[in-house]
Structure 1
C-alpha cells in the first residue's frame, strides 16, 4: 500500500511489502518519509515503542514494559539515595523521578513523550546533541555508565555537587597536568577512617597556613604560628641528629595563593542571553 505525493520532492506513506519503482524490494513494515520537512504531533501525549504487540492484540497505550523499566530505575535510585544520605552525602531527588512516571508518563496522563525499546536506543548527530530540561534531568543505568569526551568536559553546578560511591572507591587521575582542588570561600576537609598518605615521588611537599599549623599524633603535638613554635608530649621526646645547630631568629615569606572572592553573577553581568522568555 502506498500513499504518495510528488509535491516538494516526494512524500510517502508505504505499508507492507515495500518496493521501489523497479519493483525491487526495499523492506517490510511501514515507512513514512518526505523530502521536505516532517512533524509528528500528539496534543495529549505521544508513545513511541519498539516493544512487540503481535497482531495488534492489546491496548494502543500498552506500555507495561516501558513503565516497568522506569519503575525499576526509580527504585534503584531510591536505594542508592538512602545509602548516600546515611553516609552524610546529599540524597537524590528520587521522588521527582517516580512522580514523573506515575503522574505523567503512565498512560500519557499529561502532554509527555515516552520512547521505549527493549534492546536499546541510540542517538547520534554529525554535529551537536542537546538534552535540556527546565526542571529535573534524570539519568539511570542498571549496569555501567560511560562518558567519553575527546577534548574538554565542563560541569557547572549552581547550588551543590554530591558524589557518592557505595563500594570499591573513587579514582581521580590526571596523567598529565596538575590537579587543583580549591574551597575558595570555605573549609576543605580530608577524612579517612584508616590511613591518609601524602607523597611526592620526585619533588617536595609544602604545607602552608597564614595563621597556624597544628600536628597532633596520639596527643603529642607541635604547633607552628607567628608567635613561636610549641611542642608537647606525655611520653619521651627523642631527637636524633648527626649535627644540631642553633642560630638567630629567622622567618620565611608566606606564599599564599589569591582565591576568587565570594561572588554570584547573573546572566546580565556575564553578557549571557536569557532564554527563559
Structure 2
C-alpha cells in the first residue's frame, strides 16, 4: 500500500501543465443503473492508499453475523443529525456496554438534561482523588481525601425523621485497572491478479 501511495502521489491529477484535473493511471469503475452486487465466498477486502468513501442517498446498512471492529490510527468521529431532528443510540441487547478513555479525559456534556439511571441495580460514582458536585447558584459538595465539604451561599435544609452522627469510618473502594489488549496492523495487504 505504501508503494502504491507514492505512485499515486507522483501521478496525481491537477499538475501545473494540465488544464483539467485527471488521473494518469488506469482506473476501475463499477456502475449499475438498477443495482450492483459484489459477493465473495470467503473474504472481501477493500484497501486504498489514500481514501475510501462510502456514500448513499438514503440509508447505509451493515449486517454482521459476528463482530464489528473499527480501528483508527488517530481519531474516530460519530455525528448524528447535523440537520433536522435525530438521535444516536448505543445499545447492547445482552452484555455490558464499556466506554473507556485509557490515556486522557472523558467528557459527558448535554445542552439539556443529563440523566444517569440504574433500573434494577446500583449506581457507583467513585474517584481516586476528588468528587465535586456544583450548580450555577454557588452551592457545592466536595468529597476529597477523608473529608466532605458542603458549601452554599443560602440556606441548608435537611429533612429527616431521625438524625444520627456517629464516629468516623473508612470504606475502601477497589478500582479495576484498564485491560491491556494489543492490536497490531501491519499495513500490508496481499493481492493476486
Per the normalisation by structure 2, the TM-score is: 0.78
CA RMSD of aligned residues (A): 2.5
State the Cα deviation string for residues 178-214 of structure 1 (Å, max 9, x = none). 0000000100000000000100001110000000000
Equivalent residue in structure 2 for 1:257, among 166, 176, 182: 176
Segments of 5+ residues of structure 1 without an aligned counterpart are: 1-97
State the Cα deviation string for residues 30-59 of structure 1 (Å, max 9, x = none). xxxxxxxxxxxxxxxxxxxxxxxxxxxxxx
CA distance in 2, matches of 1:273, 1:158: 11
What corresponds to 1:118 in structure 2? 33
State the Cα deviation string for residues 15-39 of structure 1 (Å, max 9, x = none). xxxxxxxxxxxxxxxxxxxxxxxxx
1:133 aligned onto 2:45: no
Which structure 2 residues correspond to residues 1-277 of structure 1 after superposition, within 5 A?
102-104=21-23, 109-165=24-80, 166=82, 167-218=85-136, 219-260=138-179
What corresponds to 1:37 in structure 2? none
Q: 1:260 Cα shift?
A: 4.9
CA distance in 2, matches of 1:169, 1:152: 23
Asked if the contact 2:129–2:144 (Cα under 8 Å) also holds between the matched residues in 1, the reply is yes
Q: Which has the larger radius of gyration?
A: 1
Instruction: Kindly indicate which of the two structures has a greater share of residues assigned to strand.
Output: 1
Segments of 5+ residues of structure 2 without an aligned counterpart are: 1-12, 15-20
Distance 1:123 1:190, change over 3 A: same
Which runs of 4 or more aligned residues in structure 1 lie more than 2 Å from their structure 2 counterparts after TM superposition?
A: 263-267, 272-276
State the Cα deviation string for residues 75-134 of structure 1 (Å, max 9, x = none). xxxxxxxxxxxxxxxxxxxxxxx98xx533xxxx43111122222111112222111112
Q: 1:137 Cα shift?
A: 1.1
Instruction: Specify the SS of the correspondent of 1:188.
Output: coil
What corresponds to 2:17 in structure 1? none
Asked if the contact 1:184–1:260 (Cα under 8 Å) also holds between the matched residues in 2, the reply is no
Distance 1:204 1:265, change over 3 A: closer
CA distance in 2, matches of 1:141, 1:150: 23
CA distance in 1, matches of 2:47, 2:30: 16
Which has the higher relative contact order, 1 or 2, with Cα contacts under 8 A spaced 6 or more apart? 2
Q: 1:250 Cα shift?
A: 1.0
Instruction: Specify the SS of the correspondent of 1:223.
Output: strand
How many corresponding residue pairs?
Answer: 168
